[in-house]
Amino acid sequence: MTRSNPAGMWPHFAPYILSLLRIVAAFVFITSGTTKLFAFPSGVPPNGGTVPFMTQVGFGAILEAAGGFLLLIGLYTRPVAFLLSGEMAVAYFQFHFPGSFWPTINQGTPAILFCWIWLYLSAAGGGPWSLDAKLRH
């Protein structure tokens, strides 16, 4: 890392950008769960309500809200991210893929992206701005 080459410093920021990716993605992901559970920030289309609690979709919403919160704070990042990656794979292939092969048509783009982001975090961990990192020290 040299001061004369700012581009050479960019890789130094990778661990912090990893933490930012985790935080931003988890914040967005939490709203998937809170929409289904509490109709916040809006209800489930088309009627704006919530999903039945004791159903597969209700269980997924609990995983999204609770798991998303754990990822937001970076606690148990690797196992939670692995679990949520699997949840998103199931969501994609069970609910989106039957509608079309193409994610832009079947509206499964968020499920695919979250699946792969969470899989990456299950390997990479939560980064330096996580409770996991603080508890290790």
Question: Which DSSP state fits 43?
Answer: P
Each residue of 103-123: pLDDT tens digit? 999 999 999 999 999 999 999
Each residue of 73-105: pLDDT tens digit? 999 999 999 999 999 999 999 999 999 999 999
77 is written with which tokens? Answer: 């990042």
44, β-bridge pairs = 49
Q: What is the mean pLDDT of the chain?
A: 95
Each residue of 31-69: pLDDT tens digit? 999 999 999 999 998 899 999 999 999 999 999 999 999
Distance CA 91, CA 108 (A): 9
What pTM, to 2 d.p., does this model score? 0.92
Distance CA 115, CA 89 (A): 6
CA proximity to 65, closest of 23, 110, 35: 35
